[in-house]
């Protein structure tokens, strides 16, 4: 009888879950059909650009996110492509009277913000207004806000103005306590990705490159703010050094903001400018909704295209996944692009700190094959370093923003010896047999011999020689000169342009124009297509519903500890030969 009741209960729960999921799927389908209806814009609309969220190269539309469906995957993520497209369209759209910026703390890299900022400056040529309101501004947020005509800061808010910094985490002490011995093999004075395992602080070489890197990014940052706010660069530096901009009144005093006030006060001013009655609300429209209703600005022959292949995330072998560039998937996509006669030129849009050396080389080969058939241009986003640069060096021309992080031409090998940890901490020991003295090599469960360590270093040296030789060929410079720029050193885009690692400073649109010109295409005669192509909304919804939600579940379960678990997973992926930039470099 008890067993029978268990079956009945299980069946009942199954039916409830089925009905629950069916309801949300049908609701999602209904929302999809309704979202396909053309959005009608008011004649006095204001484009609301909210940058206080993650920004990826290509956005993610999750129809289930607004319903709060369990296991439905990540929330909607705005795409840089969509932001730029919306700004271009709004500039010519008579129904869009201006832009309202939300940019207190953007979750994006410096090069992404550079692309958005430059497009906002282009928008200003239309003589339409740009306004922003913030309760506070981070330095990244203020970098965008500084282009606005009116900059409102909450009277009780604040602004961060104390210079840029880069911080690294070191785990040698942790490994010492756990009795785990990381064996690192590297080539290059500046390959500081492995210092997190072997040191408790930065080496002099690492400090040198980091100081010069953030210095170059800071110079670009200050130069552009100086031009927008008409404040001399030296004054901006002095204000940061003295922490003089420490409250809203000082921000107003030094002309960082134009007004101290609340959001409703800004909206009152906007209503007067828009000639909207005080009792009525302002007709704001977000990026995604606007693109649904905006008239397409696309022109040119549908059968003549420039393809933009997005490569975003860490580099791995196989298919990869969310946040990774899988070499197998990349090769398949690029091969299809190469064999598509409608696509006359290709832009590889790279946003990657690197990863697997083998996977990087596999993708480099496919880029080389494509470059023999049609022009291939590299467009670097926030970071295109190490394995990311490995991809770029196979292209005809490399385009980067001044604050792109690039270079890191080097290679390292990493093997963890967990013998003492398993034995002394967990009581686990290992023993085995083999047909030769090195049959189990490389291994994590015994101390390697000096000969075996020499063989690993030999492999790393060979990988470095291959990397630098191919980079020298791609850059058309001598190996000796290339090696003087390599050794794992990281450069800003501006520095890389000066030393020959980058050809042109600019964004993805500049790269597209260069690609079109190389293919002898005139402006207006071609269309731009991004790859991989965005999934249809219904397919996206099903994938999100049934997809792997491990990372989101981990974050929810572990809270503040989640980043460390995710970092552990990255450590595991770092085994073997790696072309990777200094680990987790965040400049803020």
Percentage of the residues of the chain whose pLDDT score is greater than 70: 79
Is the pLDDT assigned to residue 298 strictly greater than 50?
A: yes
Q: Provide φ and ψ at 78, rounded to 5°.
A: -75, 145
Q: Is 527 left (phi over 0), alpha (psi -120 to 50) or beta?
A: beta
**Out of 16-25, 99-108, 371-380, 516-525, which region has the weakest mean confidence (pLDDT)?**
16-25
- Length of the chain as a residue count: 588
Structure token digits, residue 260: 């101290």
Residue from 378, 390, 397, 399 nearest 518 by CA = 397
- Tell me, what's the pLDDT at 279? 87
Q: Which residues are catalytic?
A: 191, 386
Q: Cα–Cα–Cα angle for 320, 322, 327, nearest 5°?
A: 25
Is the pLDDT assigned to residue 537 strictly greater than 60?
A: no
Angle subtended by helix axes 357-371 and 450-475, to nearest 10: 20
Tell me how far apart the alpha carbons of residues 376 and 37 are, in angstroms, rounded to a whole number.
37
Query: Is the CB of residue 21 less than 8 Å from the CB of residue 71?
Result: no
Tell me how far apart the alpha carbons of residues 95 and 47 are, in angstroms, rounded to a whole number.
10
Q: Using CA of residue 582, residue 585, residue 587, residue 588, what is the dihedral sign?
A: negative
Total-model pTM: 0.84
- Tell me, what's the pLDDT at 34? 47
Q: What is the pLDDT of residues 246-297, one digit of tens each?
A: 999 999 999 999 999 999 999 999 999 999 998 899 999 999 899 887 666 6
Structure token digits, residue 381: 């986003």
Query: Is the CB of residue 216 less than 8 Å from the CB of residue 498?
Result: no
Residue from 52, 100, 61 nearest 79 by CA = 61
Q: Which residues have C-beta within 8 Å of that of residue 462, sequence separation ≥ 6?
A: none
Burial class (CB in 10 A: 0-12, 13-18, 19+), 305: buried
Tell me how far apart the alpha carbons of residues 506 and 111 are, in angstroms, rounded to a whole number.
10
Is the pLDDT assigned to residue 154 strictly greater than 90?
A: yes
DSSP assignment of 413-429 equals EEEEE-HHIIIIIT---
Query: Is the CB of residue 378 less than 8 Å from the CB of residue 398?
Result: yes
Strand partners, 153: 134, 260
Q: Strand locations in 160-218, DSSP E?
A: 166-167, 181-187
Query: In the chain, what are the domains?
Result: 38-161+245-293 (3.90.226.10), 305-587 (3.90.226.10)
Strand partners, 406: 384, 491
């Amino acid at each position: 009888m008890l067993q029978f009741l268990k079956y009945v209960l299980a069946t009942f729960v199954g039916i409830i879950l089925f009905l629950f999921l069916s309801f949300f799927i049908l609701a999602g389908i209904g929302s999809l059909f309704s979202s396909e209806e053309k959005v009608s814009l008011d004649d006095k609309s204001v484009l609301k650009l909210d940058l206080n969220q993650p920004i990826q190269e290509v956005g993610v539309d999750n129809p289930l996110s607004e319903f709060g469906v369990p296991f439905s995957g990540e929330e909607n993520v705005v795409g840089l492509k969509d932001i730029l497209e919306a700004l271009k369209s709004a500039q010519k759209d008579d129904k869009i009277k201006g832009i309202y910026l939300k940019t207190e703390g953007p979750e994006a890299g410096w090069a992404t913000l550079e692309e958005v900022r430059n497009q906002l400056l282009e928008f200003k040529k239309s003589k339409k207004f740009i306004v922003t309101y913030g309760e506070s501004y981070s330095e990244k947020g203020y970098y965008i806000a500084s282009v606005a005509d009116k900059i409102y800061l909450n009277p009780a808010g604040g602004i961060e103005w104390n210079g840029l910094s880069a911080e690294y985490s070191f785990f040698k002490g942790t490994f010492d306590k756990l009795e785990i011995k990381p064996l690192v093999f590297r080539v290059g004075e500046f390959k500081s990705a492995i210092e997190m395992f072997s040191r408790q602080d930065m080496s002099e070489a690492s400090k040198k490159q980091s100081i010069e890197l953030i210095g170059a990014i800071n110079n670009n940052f200050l130069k552009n703010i100086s031009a927008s706010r008409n404040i001399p660069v030296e004054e901006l530096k002095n204000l940061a050094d003295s922490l003089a901009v420490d409250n809203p009144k000082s921000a107003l005093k030094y002309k960082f903001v134009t007004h101290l006030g609340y959001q409703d006060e800004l909206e009152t001013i906007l209503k007067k400018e828009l000639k909207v009655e005080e009792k009525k609300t302002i007709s704001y429209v977000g990026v995604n909704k606007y693109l649904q209703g905006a008239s397409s600005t696309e022109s040119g022959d549908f059968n003549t295209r420039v393809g933009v292949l997005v490569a975003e995330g860490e580099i791995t072998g196989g298919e990869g996944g969310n946040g990774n560039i899988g070499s197998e998937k990349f090769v398949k996509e690029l091969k299809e692009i190469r064999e598509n006669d409608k696509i006359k030129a290709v832009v590889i849009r790279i946003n990657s700190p690197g990863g697997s050396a083998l996977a990087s080389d596999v993708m480099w080969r496919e880029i080389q094959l494509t470059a023999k058939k049609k022009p291939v241009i590299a467009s670097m986003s926030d970071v295109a370093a190490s394995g990311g640069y490995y991809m770029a060096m196979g292209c005809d021309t490399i385009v980067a923003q001044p604050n792109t992080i690039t270079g890191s031409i080097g290679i390292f090998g990493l093997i963890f010896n967990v013998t003492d940890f398993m034995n002394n901490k967990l009581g686990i020991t290992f023993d085995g047999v083999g047909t030769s003295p090195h049959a189990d090599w490389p291994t994590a469960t015994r101390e390697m011999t000096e000969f075996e360590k020499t063989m690993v270093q030999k492999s790393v040296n060979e990988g470095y020689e291959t990397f630098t030789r191919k980079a020298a060929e791609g850059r058309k410079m001598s190996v000796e000169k290339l090696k003087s720029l390599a050794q794992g050193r990281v450069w800003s885009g501006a520095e890389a342009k000066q030393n020959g690692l980058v050809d042109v400073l600019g964004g993805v649109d500049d790269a597209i124009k260069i690609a079109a010109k190389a293919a002898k295409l005139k402006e207006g005669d071609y269309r731009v297509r991004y790859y991989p192509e965005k999934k249809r909304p219904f397919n996206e919804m099903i994938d999100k519903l049934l997809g792997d939600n491990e990372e989101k579940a981990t974050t929810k379960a572990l809270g503040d500890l989640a980043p460390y678990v995710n970092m552990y997973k990255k450590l595991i992926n770092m085994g073997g030969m790696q072309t990777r930039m200094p680990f987790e470099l965040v400049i803020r």
